[in-house]
Amino acid sequence: MTMQTVFERPKSLKDVPSHFCPGCHHGLIHRLVAQNLDRLGLQQQTIGVASVGCSVFLYAYLDVDVIESPHGRAPAVATGAKRVQSDKFVFTYQGDGDLAAIGTSEIIHAANRGEAFSVLFVNNTTYGMTGGQMAPTTLLGQESATSPGGRSAERDGHPIRMAELLAQLDGVAYSTRVAVDNPQHVRQADKAIEKAFRLQRDEGRFAFVEILSTCPTNWGMDPRQANARVAEEMIPCFPLGTFKDTQSQEGNQ
Amino acid sequence: MSQSTPARVFLKGNEAVCYGAIEAGCRYYFGYPITPQSEIPALMSSELPKHGGQFLQAESEVASINMLLGASACGARAMTSSSSPGISLKQEGISYLAGSELPGLIVNISRSGPGLGGIDASQADYFQAVKGGGHGDYRMIVLAPHSVQEMYDLTMHAFDLSDRYRMPAMLLGDSLVGQMKEAIELRPRPEVELPAKDWIVTGKGERSEQRIVKSLFLGDGELEAHNRHLQAKAEALRANEVMAEEVALDDAELVLVAFGAAARIAKTAVRMARETGLKVGMLRPITLFPFPERHLARLAETARRFLCIELNTGQMVEDVRLAVNGRREVHFYGRPPGTGSLPTPEELYEQIRESY
């Protein structure tokens, strides 16, 4: 009887134990990145740019060349890298504190210039590594280490919607928000990442994929509760969908 | 250098930096506008594309130093330039360059501060440049030109040192050396052997091992070992790369110590002193890091006294005192930078007489 492999570790993903907390979505998202690098034959020509936070450990899991960036500056680092190695595949992998707070200037201007790299934005509504402080994406009323009693719109402002914001910029080819809290969403996220990567590989375009993600440890939830929170609380504030797609004729079906 | 390039050209110091950088093989410039270094981005924006390079005006100083980081990690000779407040913003990136062992040139055509200060010739950023304005226990190569020719030559040298030691390098000038025009020789880039860049990220290509450019070291003992390695490179610079100009030092009883723009004025004052029979010489540090401490220690055996002259209220003088180590008196004369506060040769001559 012939055996057929139906599921395996992507080549671009290292065979190492994960250090991420139980129920954290980083591992799942890493896998989606890796399988798309494999699918598009990009592993050997990829330069990843890791950011600051739990996302920094990208190079511990992905078997590609990686530059570690200062906090929030990954889009500037990727700009320099891509300008020099213009035939290579460059992407940044950033969390919400990194991209939507300290790095807003770098992401907006890289997007506006239409730099030829892809951005993966992991939004878990908190600063994970530093211990669950309030992020620009923290939901109203959400308790955090620095918003006891919950985030207040009057005091702290509203959660920021990056995928919608970046969709306003002419340099952006594709801006979308996905989640990975159920199999259907995972498949959609997989497609979105593939589309973003293809836009860079084939057309040299800037694409932005926001991925809603869990942080059970800092949310004070078990993995199942955390996963449920994505649908119950996050998606109502951060709607899934594509906010810009310059290829909408042929894509996104 | 093409055949049609004239042997001698009349250039501003800031322009000489650009031609030096291009001759040195720099093909990427990232920067943000600020006075008094504006000639550099303007000239680079028109010249680099002619040489197959790229000029990119960044959204901020913070972004520009990080673009340099990315370009350098990918193996390019790259530079940024700015002036004091902008250099303050680049300190985070400079620290990451140092920690990640990335070469790159940062040109500081410094201005006076603190805060917005003014745009006059200033040496108020000596501490920031030499002692590390960014966080962490790192050193940076710092070269201090005092002429337009040196703006050209030391730019090329800074790139070579930076590549050899995998350490960021700063060219520390000011509006005097940046804005003045002198006739200079556009010399061809010196032929030097440099280590292969076998650490750059390029995508794995044919390699089986990934390459990582990083400054985070969390393993037991890893960061201490990394810092010891960084300090060993700094030691090698101290041993091998010190540059200083010696002016009339043979029989000098009073030794002036000055760098950059202050040294130009001090040179005239030394000549005036010699004409009146005073045995005065000058040591001009060209590398501020590594600092010519052994030159000074040697001079402390023969000279009676030192006089440090700076366009600030006393920064390099601390390093002079450390090098002299209490064996001789070290006097200081400085003017806080600002409009109308550049000392005249006559003023420095009076200081020489007082200290002699």
Residues B83 and B174 in one domain: yes
pLDDT digits (tens, 9 = 90+) for B311-330: 999 999 999 999 999 999 99
Looking up tokens 């739990």 gives A54
Residue B218: inside a domain = no
Q: Provide the CB-side half-sphere exposure for A248 (13 A, CA).
A: 9
Span B192-205, average pLDDT: 97
Pick from A44, A82, A105: which is nearest to B204 by CB? A44
Contact list, B59 vs chain A (CB under 8 Å): 105-106, 108-109
Confidence of residue A253 (pLDDT cuts 50, 70, 90): very low
Strands (E), B112-204: 141-143, 168-174, 181-185
Query: Dmax of chain A from CA atoms?
Result: 67
Q: Is A79 at the interface with chain B, CB within 8 A? A: yes
Residue B214: inside a domain = no
Residue B292: inside a domain = yes
Contact list, A84 vs chain B (CB under 8 Å): 28, 70-71, 74-76, 78
CA nearest B213: which of A153, A62, A67, A95?
A67
Confidence of residue B342 (pLDDT cuts 50, 70, 90): very high
CA distance A145 to A132: 6
pLDDT of residue B4: 55
CB A43 within 8 A of CB B204: yes
pLDDT digits (tens, 9 = 90+) for B34-85: 999 999 999 999 999 999 999 999 999 999 999 999 999 999 999 999 999 9
pLDDT digits (tens, 9 = 90+) for A34-91: 999 999 999 999 999 999 999 999 999 999 999 999 999 999 999 999 999 999 999 9
Residue B196: inside a domain = no
CA distance A240 to A182: 13
Pick from A63, A67, A69: which is nearest to B201 by CB? A67
Span A184-203, average pLDDT: 98
Contact list, A85 vs chain B (CB under 8 Å): 74, 201-203
Show the domain range for B39.
8-185
Pick from B30, B92, B211: which is nearest to A80 by CB? B30
Q: Is A59 at the interface with chain B, CB within 8 A? A: yes
Alpha-carbon distances, residue B243 vs B28, B40, B256, B293 (angstroms): 27, 25, 16, 11
Asked whether residue A175 carries a pLDDT value surpassing 50, the answer given is yes
State the best of B32, B64, B67 to mutate against chain A, taking most chain A CBs within 10 Å.
Answer: B67
Residue B230: inside a domain = no
Indicate which CATH number applies to the domain containing B31: 3.40.50.970
Q: Is A179 at the interface with chain B, CB within 8 A? A: no
**Boundary residue ending a domain (B117, B151, B185):** B185
Q: Torsion angle of alpha carbons A234, A240, A245, A251, nearest 10°?
A: 150
Contact list, A69 vs chain B (CB under 8 Å): 66, 69-70, 96
State the best of B28, B201, B206, B216 to mutate against chain A, taking most chain A CBs within 10 Å.
Answer: B201
Contact list, A46 vs chain B (CB under 8 Å): 203-204
Count of structural domains within chain B: 2
> Is the CB of B67 less than 8 angstroms away from the CB of A45?
no
Residues B170 and B48 in one domain: yes
Contact list, A88 vs chain B (CB under 8 Å): 202-203
What is the CATH architecture of A26-138+161-244? Answer: 3-Layer(aba) Sandwich (3.40)
3-state secondary structure of B348: helix
Contact list, B105 vs chain A (CB under 8 Å): none
3-state secondary structure of B2: coil
**Boundary residue ending a domain (B150, B168, B185):** B185
pLDDT digits (tens, 9 = 90+) for A47-63: 999 999 999 999 999 99
ipTM exceeding 0.90? yes
- Residues 6 or more apart whose CB falls under 8 angstroms from that of B230 comprise B98, B99, B101, B137, B138, B139
CA distance A244 to A223: 32
pLDDT of residue A252: 45
Span B243-268, average pLDDT: 97
Residue B225: inside a domain = no
3-state secondary structure of A20: coil
Residue B42: inside a domain = yes
Domain coordinates of chain A in residue numbers? Answer: 26-138+161-244
For B80, nearest residue in chain A (alpha carbons) = A80
Residue B203: inside a domain = no
Strands across the sheet with A65-68, in order? A241-245, A172-179, A206-212, A118-123, A89-95, A46-50, A65-68, B212-213
CB A135 within 8 A of CB A96: yes
pLDDT of residue B188: 95
pTM reported for the whole predicted model: 0.96
Indicate which CATH number applies to the domain containing B315: 3.40.50.920
CB A64 within 8 A of CB A47: yes
**Boundary residue ending a domain (B185, B200, B230):** B185
pLDDT of residue B3: 53
Residues B273 and B161 in one domain: no
DSSP states along B76-113: --EEEEE-HHHHHHHHHHHHHHHHTT--EEEEEEE-B-
* Per-residue three-class SS string for B191-247: CCCCCCCCCCCCCCCCCCCCCEECCCCCCCCHHHHHHHHHHHHHHHHHHHCCCEEEE
pLDDT digits (tens, 9 = 90+) for B95-119: 999 999 999 999 999 999 999 999 9
> Is the CB of B70 less than 8 angstroms away from the CB of A81?
yes
Q: Is A84 at the interface with chain B, CB within 8 A? A: yes
Q: Is A107 at the interface with chain B, CB within 8 A? A: no
User: Across the A/B interface, how many CB contacts are shorter than 8 Å?
Assistant: 133
Confidence of residue B280 (pLDDT cuts 50, 70, 90): very high
pLDDT of residue A249: 52
Structure tokens at B237: 């610079």
